[in-house]
Structure 1
Amino acid sequence: MSAPNPSPPTGPRTSTALLTDHYELTMLQATLASGHAHRRCVFETFARHLPDGRRYGVVAGTGRFLQALADFRFGDPELEFLGDTGVVDRPTLDYLADYRFTGDIWGYAEGECYFPGSPVLVVESTFAEGVVLETLALSMLNHDSAVASAASRMTAAAGDRPCIEMGSRRTEEHSAVAAARAAYIAGFQATSNLEAGRSHGVPTMGTAAHSFTLLHDDERSAFASQLKSLGLSTTLLVDTYDVTGAVELAVELAGPELGGVRLDSGDLVSQAHEVRAQLDQLGARDTRIVVTSDLDEHSIAALAAAPVDAYGVGTRVVTGSGAPAAGMVYKLVAREGDSGELEAVAKASRDKTSIGGRKFALRRRNAAGVAEREVLGIGEHPHDDGDDRSLLVPLVRGGEVVAATDAHTAREHHAMARAELPSRALRMSHGDPAIRTVYQDEGSRVEVEEDA
């Protein structure tokens, strides 16, 4: 396993300005022409609801967004493309040539748990500066939060047994790196993805696949080769042919010091019991059993009573275990009016309503420190009854990033945030959000509707 290294690799920086949608820039062009582009505004990122049956979500991708924000610049190549393709006109190109985000951004700390309506990202800027960040923010937060939310359920089901992310071959190459980072934030111990190790300091691990065994003339020579090269602490894949014979051969060659065996097919529960009994009988009582094979939070929970030491998870974690996007939206919730003051605005269309006004948020906890409510204040910070925890933290001030962006800090925060949730939050069965979202407006409290 590699040592954590939170520092990203150095090298030439690449603009992130075109990681956006066409209509962000056409809106910019129209508002520059109308004179509305420089109105002060508040944009808010939130999820109207959690994926079906989920009891909480996990914020991830914030650190990547903040790093990308630093490179959100329109250089000559970007401006040339926009001009040659006629996306925007000359005045808009001139504006973009000098674009710098100079506003403030608040948000839930990366790794925080969130619920319907939680203002996970609050952008305070002019319309022109904030509108062009919509796609950049949503693409990262929606993907990474979906992965982290699934990964958190998996690590909760696994308890003290480590989970290893192994899903790189089941998603796009850049998404694989982001997914490994998000899974690590939510408690996974390591990843198979080396770029995630280099870029984000996620510990990496891996040994051999079935092809390694099949390459050799027989299983004995394959195991002997792996043990000679990687040492007795390695993990041998024992289900290429016959599991019982492979386990016996593995202990014969490595002795009781064999690090581990991996099971990748069949009835994992019964096989784990059989292999554990065989290993103990052969004297390899400390040899670990690692299981893989399309695991998710439910199969991990089903393996809780089996003598398993670690789980390798691939497809299901990198695809959000059935919820590949977190369903977050980026909405204008307040704008500067003719009086110069901010005025609440909100979308009111059927099934996609939102609640206007700049939000402030705290996690209401009981005297034992267990979360009870998500309390959102509209226009002002809600009253703290003494056991509450403020949720919005400064991420960017005056255009400068002021928050940590590394995965290790986010991982520590998630462990704390999940620990304060009520026990019902960790149930694997379908259910409603573990805590309710309540709005406070000028001292009154109105519980948010389920579809708000």
Structure 2
Amino acid sequence: MNSADLGRRVGVPSTALFTDQYELTMVQAALKAGTADRHSVFEAFTRRLPEGRRYGVVAGTGRLLDAVENFHFDDEMLTFLRERNVVDGPTLAWLADFRFSGDIWGYPEGEVYFPGSPILRVEGSFAECVLLETVILSILNHDSAIAAAASRMSVAAGGRGLIEMGARRTHELSAVASARAAYIGGFDTTSDLAAGFRYNIPTVGTSAHAFTLLHDSERDAFRAQVDSLGRGTTLLVDTYDVAEAVRTAVEVAGTGLGAVRIDSGDLLLVAHRVRQQLDELGATGTKIVVTSDLDEYAIASLAAAPVNAYGVGTQLVTGSGQPTCSMVYKLVARAVSADPAEPLQPVAKKSLGAKSSMGGRKWAARRLDEYGVAEAEVIGTGPVPDGLADRQLLAELVRGGELVAREPLDAARQRHIAARQGLPMSAMQLSNGEPVLPTEYV
């Protein structure tokens, strides 16, 4: 397994300040109170899925492991904290020596999840676990939202190609994370070279309208592109007149033209007209790529169109209306000392309304029906029932502060395909609805 398979960890900075100030002030107060070393268990979960979603998708685990590994305070950071009086001297001394030394278990990347699923379990001292809260939630909430949107778009595409092209519609670093999450959720390629470089995702790209407008004629633009990139390139045909552009494209590139791209208009109607025209010109193998503010609903509406691939930008990198998964990170159990053998006491927030949670270190398993299709997400704190022992979902990710679960990105991608195929058919519906699996507590 080479470095490209695992993602290029190039110039990775410390992630220690990707946190909220109150994480550090809690550590300071706990150190002073003598409770910072208490053995504790935190879990990340969501109380509900975003409105209308039938399932969630775990994404960001690989990035999260990198973040944990690189969570340390350097001299410059400590100076910043000292000058701002964020924490006191003893706490700064503790932070200077900080390295996470606990254990992390979680749903493997690409797996699906449901309300209450213990997506991540972090175990160690209170201080070291609480420090990781913000960076964990930041990564999981963002990447899982993008992956869920990508998964829905993948279902809508029905096996046709999907190109992630949202880099210009979000923060430059979010664009790279979005491309990674989209690939897990079912997209095939990205236009973002940083994502291709860091995570070995296949990259694509040809030209924009500006390239056509640069030249004295559309024919000159097409000729320049074909001369440079070959007949297999994709020509953008909607800068002026689509029918004339298609005719010119085939004249310039020949019937072996790779593809044409349509970026505006009534895509259903235009795609049918372009397909007919290409066939009449003998370019029967030329593919049609459509772009233009697509989401899963627009993709589904083009199911009857002769389209070979969809390029999706804005709606994908913003989670198609659901940019976060609303995951939370809660203390669910703790001991009265640092001794891991000390009995854990379940703890839980007892809020009014929907913000209450269930205490105790949890396991999770997915029960199948007689046909091998998932029928329930089962969560418990006691012994695992015999029938579910081999269906448990949490995998070991970090042991004693050491990462034990690095894997190629394609493994997460294939895992998601398998997990989605194991759900009831109603999970593939795009209409609003309740989670496709109930969550059962035992």
Residue of structure 1 equivalent to 2:440: 438
Residue of structure 1 equivalent to 2:111: 112
Measured at CA, do residues 81 and 177 of structure 1 come closer, stay the same or move farther in structure 2, by a change above 3 Å?
same
Alpha-carbon distance between aligned partners in 2 of 1:4 and 1:358, rounded to the nearest angstrom: 35
Structure 2 residue 367 is the aligned partner of structure 1 residue 371: no
Measured at CA, do residues 389 and 321 of structure 1 come closer, stay the same or move farther in structure 2, by a change above 3 Å?
same
Deviation at 1:387, TM superposition (A): 9.3
Alignment of 1:97-176 (within 5 A): 97-176=96-175
Of 389, 392, 416, 2:391 maps to 389
AA matched with 1:236? L
Name which of structure 1's ranges 407-416 and 40-49 shifts more when overlaid on structure 2: 407-416
Deviation at 1:11, TM superposition (A): 4.6
Alpha-carbon distance between aligned partners in 1 of 2:355 and 2:133, rounded to the nearest angstrom: 17
User: Cα deviations across residues 302-341 of structure 1 (Å, max 9, x unaligned)?
Assistant: 1111100000000000000000011100000111147931
User: Cα deviations across residues 5-47 of structure 1 (Å, max 9, x unaligned)?
Assistant: 3243355442111111100000000000000100011000001
Contact 1:263/1:292 (8 A) holds in 2: yes
Structure 2 residue 311 is the aligned partner of structure 1 residue 342: no
Residue of structure 1 equivalent to 2:309: 310
Deviation at 1:196, TM superposition (A): 0.3
Name which of structure 1's ranges 205-214 and 4-13 shifts more when overlaid on structure 2: 4-13
Partner SS, residue 5 of structure 2: coil
Extract unaligned runs of 5+ from structure 2.
Answer: none
User: Cα deviations across residues 208-241 of structure 1 (Å, max 9, x unaligned)?
Assistant: 0000000001100000000000000000000000
Structure 2 residue 208 is the aligned partner of structure 1 residue 209: yes
Alpha-carbon distance between aligned partners in 2 of 1:209 and 1:51, rounded to the nearest angstrom: 35
Residue of structure 2 equivalent to 1:416: 418
Name which of structure 1's ranges 68-77 and 287-296 shifts more when overlaid on structure 2: 68-77
Alpha-carbon distance between aligned partners in 2 of 1:210 and 1:311, rounded to the nearest angstrom: 18
Alpha-carbon distance between aligned partners in 1 of 2:11 and 2:238, rounded to the nearest angstrom: 45
Residue identity (%): 61
Deviation at 1:404, TM superposition (A): 2.0
Structure 2 residue 357 is the aligned partner of structure 1 residue 354: yes
User: Cα deviations across residues 66-118 of structure 1 (Å, max 9, x unaligned)?
Assistant: 01111111111111111111100000011111111111100000000000001
AA matched with 1:126? S
Measured at CA, do residues 323 and 99 of structure 1 come closer, stay the same or move farther in structure 2, by a change above 3 Å?
same
Alignment of 1:283-294 (within 5 A): 283-294=282-293
Aligned pair count reads 437
Contact 1:363/1:388 (8 A) holds in 2: no
Partner SS, residue 181 of structure 1: helix
AA matched with 2:13? T
TM-score by length of 1: 0.94
Partner SS, residue 6 of structure 1: helix
AA matched with 2:376? R
Residue of structure 2 equivalent to 1:448: none
Deviation at 1:147, TM superposition (A): 0.1
Contact 1:4/1:203 (8 A) holds in 2: no
AA matched with 1:377? G
Structure 2 residue 430 is the aligned partner of structure 1 residue 428: yes
Name which of structure 1's ranges 404-413 and 111-120 shifts more when overlaid on structure 2: 404-413
Structure 2 residue 397 is the aligned partner of structure 1 residue 398: no
Contact 2:366/2:388 (8 A) holds in 1: no
Deviation at 1:405, TM superposition (A): 4.5
Alpha-carbon distance between aligned partners in 1 of 2:325 and 2:10, rounded to the nearest angstrom: 32
Contact 1:39/1:336 (8 A) holds in 2: yes
Alpha-carbon distance between aligned partners in 2 of 1:75 and 1:280, rounded to the nearest angstrom: 63
Name which of structure 1's ranges 20-29 and 383-392 shifts more when overlaid on structure 2: 383-392
Measured at CA, do residues 82 and 165 of structure 1 come closer, stay the same or move farther in structure 2, by a change above 3 Å?
same
Alpha-carbon distance between aligned partners in 2 of 1:379 and 1:400, rounded to the nearest angstrom: 27
AA matched with 2:349? K
Contact 1:364/1:388 (8 A) holds in 2: no
Residue of structure 2 equivalent to 1:447: none
Alpha-carbon distance between aligned partners in 2 of 1:414 and 1:124, rounded to the nearest angstrom: 26
Deviation at 1:257, TM superposition (A): 0.3
Deviation at 1:162, TM superposition (A): 1.1
Deviation at 1:389, TM superposition (A): 2.1
Measured at CA, do residues 272 and 384 of structure 1 come closer, stay the same or move farther in structure 2, by a change above 3 Å?
farther
Alpha-carbon distance between aligned partners in 1 of 2:139 and 2:426, rounded to the nearest angstrom: 28
Contact 2:111/2:419 (8 A) holds in 1: yes
Contact 1:45/1:330 (8 A) holds in 2: yes
Deviation at 1:412, TM superposition (A): 1.4
Contact 1:365/1:388 (8 A) holds in 2: no
Partner SS, residue 278 of structure 1: helix
Measured at CA, do residues 7 and 373 of structure 1 come closer, stay the same or move farther in structure 2, by a change above 3 Å?
closer
AA matched with 1:383? P
Partner SS, residue 257 of structure 1: coil
Contact 1:164/1:313 (8 A) holds in 2: yes
Extract unaligned runs of 5+ from structure 1.
Answer: 441-452
Alpha-carbon distance between aligned partners in 2 of 1:7 and 1:184, rounded to the nearest angstrom: 14
Residue of structure 2 equivalent to 1:300: 299
Deviation at 1:378, TM superposition (A): 1.5
Name which of structure 1's ranges 431-440 and 350-359 shifts more when overlaid on structure 2: 350-359
Supply the RMSD in Å over aligned alpha carbons: 1.5
